[in-house]
Each structure stands twice: as C-alpha cells, then as structure tokens.
Structure 1
C-alpha cells in the first residue's frame, strides 16, 4: 500500500478517511467535498483519500491542498478497461474485495482515523467503521430523489418479503409508500434497465445507511427540499445536502 502527500500530523488534528466508489462519478464529488473540508480548517484537518493503485495513477498528479494525502489499496477489482464489459462482476468485486485491504490500511494510518466518509454504494464502510467505533458518514453522489426512491423500494421489498425481481415488483410499484406517481416511470426504468445482481447489491447498500452517523447528499436544498426533509424525518441522525461544484 502506498501513501502520497503530507506526512503525519500532531495530535488534536481531525483525521478524515475518505473512501469513494472506484469510478470518476464518485471520486470527483468525494474529492471536491474533501477540498471544501480542507479549505474550512486547513490547520485542523488531515484527509486521507483512498483509491486503488490504478486510480492513484490516474489522479496522483492532480492538484490538491496540502492537507489532503492520497493512499492506495491494491488493484483487487477489474481494471477500468474491463469494467464496462461486465459491470455486474465489477460491482460485486467492489463489494467483496476492497473491504479487507481498506481495513488493513486503516491500521497503518497515522494519526489514527477520526472519522470515515464512505460512498453508500460500497456497502461495507459503515459496518467496518462501527466495528472500529469510528464515526462514519454515508456519502451519496446522485440526487436525493433517486436515493429516496431506492430507500422506499428497499423498505417495501423487505416488508413484503419480496426478492428484488423486476417481474415480481413491477406490478406493485404503484403501491410503494414514499414514491410519488411522478417517479414511477423512473422506478420502472431502474427495474428494467439494471442487472438484477446490481440492483440487489444497490438496495443492500441502501439498507446499511441506518447504521451510519450522517448522510451526506450531493444536492441543493432548494431543488429537493421536500425530499430532503422527508429523509431527515426518516433517519435519527443528521442529513446534510451539500452543493458541490464539478471541479475545485
């Protein structure tokens, strides 16, 4: 495992470990969030941004604040060239192969991590942080409306003891509480255009969020106020909308 960037910091510094899903649409917003955090308290925060060795090669030379350092875990998932050819296999590998090397990396970091920010779609950072008694924020990179739709779909499937199968669920989508008629077409698209293995794993990721300490949504409150307020009513912990620029 490799580290790049600034070295260890003295005690009292908040050490944030950021673990994005290995994809540009997740790494960019996670990095932008980290840059915002670093700019707010540059002398009080250290951020370790974790990627695979392949992604370290892609972004290692990108400009970033001194308080953000990169760390890499081994390439335990299919490379980017093969991801599109078999995305379900890539998604399953991300869910199953990355947790152990990330866990080992946490043991090597100095100072010890203060908080973990993990992509919702990784599934495992929340449980890992809880085992280590480290506060954890679940980070969602798409719209609050899409998150809410998946949340209510997961709850509905669990309550009805249904498998996430498009043929079994499709006839019942009108009856899912929390999903408006305006979103039914979107939900049908999700059910029909996604591989069922991917959908099952995605809903499993959503089901882990209640065990987090925070939910961070990359959205603007004014654009999705009703959805955000409904999510705040669902969870017993803070839900924060964060407006992120594409690049900082």
Structure 2
C-alpha cells in the first residue's frame, strides 16, 4: 500500500463516538487515497465491530479494555468515564511508539484529553473531533457564565423553565436543557471531567465539528471568534456521502426482512422509534409509550435493546419491534413518516439528512439542546414531553393523541413541518456537494494535514 500520510484515529469507546469517527476516516480516505488510517479500539470494541466491512486503507489496532465488560459504562457511567481518563493513556502511548509507518497526524475525541499530551511528546500534530453539536460545545466553553449569573446548579422543579440568553452561540435556552446542570454527585463528576477537556482542545492544531455549518451558524461563528486554531465543520459524518450512496442505502436491502415489510407500507405511514443504544427511560414510561402506540393505530418500527417480545405484545400487530436495524437506510425509506428519537447528535443528523420530521424525547447530556434545535430553531419536529420535571409520566392517552396528530399527513401543521424537513434535507445535501460548506472544510483540513507532513 503506497501511503504517505498515516493518521491515527483515537475515538472514545462508545458507539455514538466510534461511528462518526469511522465515518470521518472513510471520508478522508475517499478524498485522498494516499492516507492510511490506524483506528484504535479497545479489545471489547474490536470484538463488536472488527468484522464490519471497511476500506483497505483503514486498519484496526487495539488497547486493553479500561473496565471489565460486565461492569461496563451503562452500569456505572461515572466509573467508566474516569477509567477512560486515567487508564487508556499509557497503552495508547505504547501502541503509538510501535506503529509503522510512524504516524504523521492524530485525530482524537476530546473526552480523551490526554491524547494531546501524548501527541506533543511524539511531536505529532493533533486534531480534536467533537462528535456532539457545536452548540453544546459552546455551552461547555462558557459554563462559567452560568455560575457567575447564579444559574448553576439547576433545580428543574423550581427554575428549570427559566430562559438564559447570554451564552455565546446560542439563543435562549431553558435551564433544564443545559447539560449536566443539576447538583447531583453523578452529574457534578461528569461536568468536572467535561470542563477539563476544553483547555486541551485549545492546545490541539485544529477543531473539527461533525456538524454542518448551516445547521449551527451562530455557534460556529462564536467559537471561531473565540479560538485561535482553525475550526472546520466536516459533517454530517454519517454513513452516506453523495447521491449515489444515498440510492444504495435506500434500495439495496434484499437480505433484511424488515425492509420487505417497509416496502409494503404506504408512503410516510410508519413511525420509526429509537431511544438510542445506551441511556434509557423508565420501564413505566416505556409501557405507556407502547400502549399509546397501540392505541394510536399508527404503523411503527421500534428498535429496542431489550424486552422485544414484551414490547411487541403491548404494541400490537401494526408494526415491528427489533433489537437492531440499519437506521440510516430505514430513515431514507419512503414509508417512514416520522422519527421518535432520543435526539443523540448522530440520530439528529441522520433524521435531518433524511428529511424526516421528529418527535423528540431527550434523556440526558446534549440531547435536550438537540431537541430544542429540532423543535424551536429548525422547526422540523415536536416535543413529546414539554414538562421540565424528570419524573413526569406521559400517559398512553396523551401519547396516542400526539402520534395520531403527528402522523396526519393532511393537517396544515403536518404539511408545514414536512416541508421544512425537506428544506433542511436539501441544506444538508448542498453542504456535502461540490463547493458546499462541509466539502470545503474537509478539503481545508486535508490541506492542513498535508502541510504537516511536508519535510
């Protein structure tokens, strides 16, 4: 393999971080065949994705797991984060020292802040790749403003509805939607870790956002004014690049039974439901969602990590309950008329790129702000839950009414929302086309990488 550029990719060991980093690696290779990417995974994640197809220019390397899989991140998220911050640096440095050819550039997830120090010791330039929205990064960048204005910590039951409008790069935000803003031990530890990564990002050679400039221009402009290093918007960093690939995603599914079922459904009649692969809502609320879905009479495809048979029994025979699906291809299917989403950033981008309207049900971290953008800024969706209190149970009757109204293709509000969704889909496609904002920034980043390897 004749490669002159060797990029090491170091993602945070979680699905929502690994996927966009891998999509970025594939995008860079598609733009320059002289790039070799060494993609670093923990042993656990190599076992999970090691057999997935990838370009020849991408190779996997492993470091030991940071925490036993039976005590994984879902069981103790704080312990997992702390292990990531303290136990991965040494084996990564050992790995870096024996890689051949010697790395010429590193791209890393900012939650692995220690990568910058390792890169400096090896005199390797490094790029931070933030896989949440730029608007959320802007909030963390200016978190001290919340403290100075007396708006931290937040008690959602008392002042969660209060709006703050002084965070650069963001319009008014409900305090309840600010990530990690309550005073519980768990979120306080996570906030301390998250705020610690910001100074390290400033020490990298550039900052990449897996977003599209036109989706978050205010945040990107504010951050570019604040940072002395280049900032590139290289999104959407999802598994589709260009019209040809979109066609492949939406039609090549002969081996997947659920697509045969989707093929038989009327256009825009199916509600796709996914609450993500990690965080979850209460079992009582899941029961209400399932029963409300049945009462609505709407066709559905629900991806759930557990209790599939129980959910299927509750939901009825109008749809499918699956443990996994190819989400991007599902969202692009013409029978999908809406997306019930937890509003993780990857799912948010995939839904917007597919031109599908949302029912938002955020749970944690960046998800409430992503929901705010969907509902208030882009106006391509509705909130399932308007209350800021975490313990508010939404009943099956409320859910059934909301779903029926949301999936009504003939209502004026539904037509307007779907028209907006199609407009934002076009914005995304324009960004990755020749001369688009993302295409331009990808080329600018690649130029910076090439400059770094010149003798």
Q: TM-score, normalised by structure 2?
A: 0.47
Query: Aligned pair in 2 of structure 1 residues 92, 141: CA closer, same or farther (>3 Å)?
Result: same
CA distance in structure 2 between the aligned counterparts of 1:85 and 1:245, rounded to whole angstroms: 29
CA distance in structure 2 between the aligned counterparts of 1:174 and 1:142, rounded to whole angstroms: 21
Indicate the residue corresponding to 1:143 in structure 2: 133
Residues 91-148 of structure 1 deviation map (CA, whole Å, 9 limit, x = unaligned): 0000000010000000110011101101011121112112221110001001110010
1:149 and 1:187 in contact (8 A); partners too: no
Choose 1 or 2 for highest CA Rg.
2
1:78 and 1:90 in contact (8 A); partners too: no
Q: Map residues 88-237 of structure 1 onto 2, 5 A cutoff.
A: 88-153=78-143, 156=145, 166=153, 174=164, 177-178=167-168, 180=170, 182-185=172-175, 188-192=178-182, 195-237=187-229
Query: Aligned pair in 2 of structure 1 residues 176, 191: CA closer, same or farther (>3 Å)?
Result: same
Structure 2 alignment gaps of length 5 or more: 241-455
The CA deviation at 1:174 is 4.9
Following TM superposition, where does structure 1 have runs of at least 4 consecutive aligned residues deviating by more than 6 angstroms? none
CA distance in structure 2 between the aligned counterparts of 1:112 and 1:122, rounded to whole angstroms: 21
Query: Aligned pair in 2 of structure 1 residues 186, 213: CA closer, same or farther (>3 Å)?
Result: farther
Indicate the residue corresponding to 2:74 in structure 1: 84
Identify the range of structure 1 (202-211 vs 174-183) with the bigger mean alpha-carbon deviation. Answer: 174-183
The CA deviation at 1:77 is 2.5
Indicate the residue corresponding to 1:41 in structure 2: 32
2:110 and 2:129 in contact (8 A); partners too: yes
Query: Aligned pair in 2 of structure 1 residues 213, 184: CA closer, same or farther (>3 Å)?
Result: farther
1:95 and 1:124 in contact (8 A); partners too: yes
1:139 and 1:215 in contact (8 A); partners too: yes
Identify the range of structure 1 (144-153 vs 73-82) with the bigger mean alpha-carbon deviation. Answer: 73-82
Q: Give the paired residue count.
A: 233
The CA RMSD measured in Å over matched residues stands at 2.8
The CA deviation at 1:79 is 2.0
Residues 177-230 of structure 1 deviation map (CA, whole Å, 9 limit, x = unaligned): 526561243554531276211110011012211101010001110111121111
Residues 1-60 of structure 1 deviation map (CA, whole Å, 9 limit, x = unaligned): xxxxxxxx56x6110000000000000000000000111111x11000000011011111
1:116 and 1:129 in contact (8 A); partners too: yes
CA distance in structure 1 between the aligned counterparts of 2:178 and 2:225, rounded to whole angstroms: 26
The CA deviation at 1:176 is 5.8
- Relative contact order: is structure 1 or structure 2 higher (C-alpha 8 Å, sep ≥ 6)? 1
Identify the range of structure 1 (120-129 vs 97-106) with the bigger mean alpha-carbon deviation. Answer: 120-129
Structure 1 alignment gaps of length 5 or more: 1-8
Alignment counterpart, residue 14 of structure 2, candidates 4, 15, 23: 23
CA distance in structure 1 between the aligned counterparts of 2:232 and 2:170, rounded to whole angstroms: 22
CA distance in structure 2 between the aligned counterparts of 1:222 and 1:80, rounded to whole angstroms: 42
CA distance in structure 1 between the aligned counterparts of 2:171 and 2:216, rounded to whole angstroms: 16
CA distance in structure 1 between the aligned counterparts of 2:170 and 2:206, rounded to whole angstroms: 25
Q: TM-score, normalised by structure 1?
A: 0.84
Structure 2 SS opposite 1:85: coil
Matched, 1:62 2:49: no
